[in-house]
Amino acid sequence: MDTNAIPTPERKKVIFSAIQPSGTITLGNYLGAIKNWVALQDDYRCIFALADLHTITVRQDPAKFRQNALQAYALLMACGIDLEKSLFFIQSHVPTHAELAWVLNCYTQFGELSRMTQFKDKSTTHADNVNAGLFTYPSLMAADILLYQADLVPVGADQKQHLELTRNIAERFNGVYGNTFTVPDPYIPKTGARVMSLQEPTRKMSKSDENVNAWVAVLDKPEDILRKFKRAVTDSEACVRYAEGKDGINNLMGIYAVMTGKSYEEIEREFDGRGYGDFKAAVAESVIAHLRPVQERYAQLIKDKAYLEKCYTESAQAAQRISQRTLDKAMKKIGFIKKAF
């Protein structure tokens, strides 16, 4: 048999991404991140994590933190993260992350970390707790990514700078010791939605916004979703069309387009001559209908703690095996004595 005729299956590219369990997961997180992760699972080797070590850079109430993390895990599974295809683990369960983060801290410059805009922002908003973890946050994120030799990392605009730093750290390390880490590229999804606040549509929808009417949570009750959309800030033109300066309507049209698969022209035609009240109700209904199956799956999953435990444990064990290889390789190159146990 001519073995050359058998096509060798191309290695699937590795994708790594993570999300912090820092509170309620919003429609912004869902459309901007999670929904894309779900879609990537067939074409890539996907490794996802709940970045709980990152979350303690801001002080957390222990009971609430534990609850948020478990809920976020169940919710991402309900959104479609599938353990038959991907790994999905809890960062603090895989010790290689903290270990490599320390190592990478020694290959990251103070000046580089000082230039991170997230650090500058968060040290202003949390001025009473500017801890060293907040400062070295990007080295831990670099460890997350580099441990899995990730080719691609889907991140939002706010995390691009951290990814750029990850690339610099990897290149620097490879430059000194020879090829050790894959240098990752950002992954920009073809259809990404940037969801804006329903109250201040020039700002992004953010779960830490104190005004609860500014965001819709994936687990919000239908009546709350309807109320929040009905109160959404728009403009006085009373015409559903996509145009500069119509930030509120543009945002609602963006959401409706993702939910229904309709183009902006189709939406404009559908609501031609109709008021904003009708349009807002239609957007709300489309979101409610889209989230209903997610909410139903979540309600089942969150009741089954034993199943969730099995899922995150098996994923963490697999992640530990993969990441240990990279950590060992890096430590050997640096010159650490190999552990004999």
Given ligand LTN, ligand ATP, none, residue 208, with its beta carbon under 5 to 8 Å by kind, binds ligand ATP
| Active-site residue identified among 13, 207, 230, 333 | 207
Instruction: With CB under 6 A as the rule, give the number of residues binding ligand ATP.
Output: 20
Tokens 């009546």, located at residue: 223
CB of 141 vs ligand ATP, minimal distance in Å: 12
Q: Is 246 a catalytic residue?
A: no
What residue ranges bind ligand LTN (CB under 6 A)?
16-20, 51, 54, 141, 144-145, 153, 155, 159
Pick between residue 202 and residue 208 the one whose CB is nearest to ligand ATP: 208
Q: Is 122 a catalytic residue?
A: yes
- Is 15 within 8 Å of 153 (Cβ atoms)? yes
Q: Is 204 a catalytic residue?
A: yes
CB of 162 vs ligand LTN, minimal distance in Å: 6
List 207, 297, 329, 333, residue binding ligand ATP (CB under 6 A): 207
CB of 17 vs ligand ATP, minimal distance in Å: 7
Pick between residue 206 and residue 324 the one whose CB is nearest to ligand ATP: 206
- Is 22 within 8 Å of 58 (Cβ atoms)? yes
Region of 16-24, 67-75, 226-234, 248-256 interacting with ligand ATP (CB under 6 A): 16-24
Q: Is 216 in the site for ligand ATP (CB under 6 A)?
A: no
Given ligand ATP, ligand LTN, none, residue 205, with its beta carbon under 5 to 8 Å by kind, binds ligand ATP
Given ligand ATP, ligand LTN, none, residue 18, with its beta carbon under 5 to 8 Å by kind, binds ligand LTN
Q: Is 195 in the site for ligand ATP (CB under 6 A)?
A: yes
- Is 22 within 8 Å of 68 (Cβ atoms)? yes
CB of 107 vs ligand ATP, minimal distance in Å: 25
CB of 112 vs ligand ATP, minimal distance in Å: 21
3-class DSSP string for the chain: CCHHHCCCCCCCCEEEEEECCCCCCEHHHHHHHHHHHHHHCCCCEEEEEECHHHHCCCCCCHHHHHHHHHHHHHHHHHHCCCCCCCEEEEHHHCCHHHHHHHHHHCCCCHHHHHCCHHHHHHHHHCHHHCCHHHHHHHHHHHHHHHCCCCCEEECCHHHHHHHHHHHHHHHHHHHHHCCCCCCCEEECCCCCCCCECCCCCCCECCCCCCCHHHCCECCCCHHHHHHHHHCCCCCCCCCCCCCCCCHHHHHHHHHHHHHHCCCHHHHHHHCCCCCHHHHHHHHHHHHHHHHHHHHHHHHHHHHCHHHHHHHHHHHHHHHHHHHHHHHHHHHHHHCCCCCCC
Given ligand LTN, ligand ATP, none, residue 153, with its beta carbon under 5 to 8 Å by kind, binds ligand LTN
| Active-site residue identified among 204, 228, 246, 280 | 204
Q: Is 189 in the site for ligand ATP (CB under 6 A)?
A: no
CA-based nearest residue to 207, from 25, 64, 34: 25
CB of 182 vs ligand LTN, minimal distance in Å: 13
The two three-digit tokens of residue 316, written as one number? 């963490």
Q: Is 204 in the site for ligand ATP (CB under 6 A)?
A: yes
Q: Is 149 in the site for ligand ATP (CB under 6 A)?
A: no
Enzyme catalytic residues: 122, 204, 207
Q: Which residues bind ligand ATP (CB under 6 A)?
A: 19-20, 22, 26, 28-29, 31-33, 155-156, 158, 193-195, 204-208
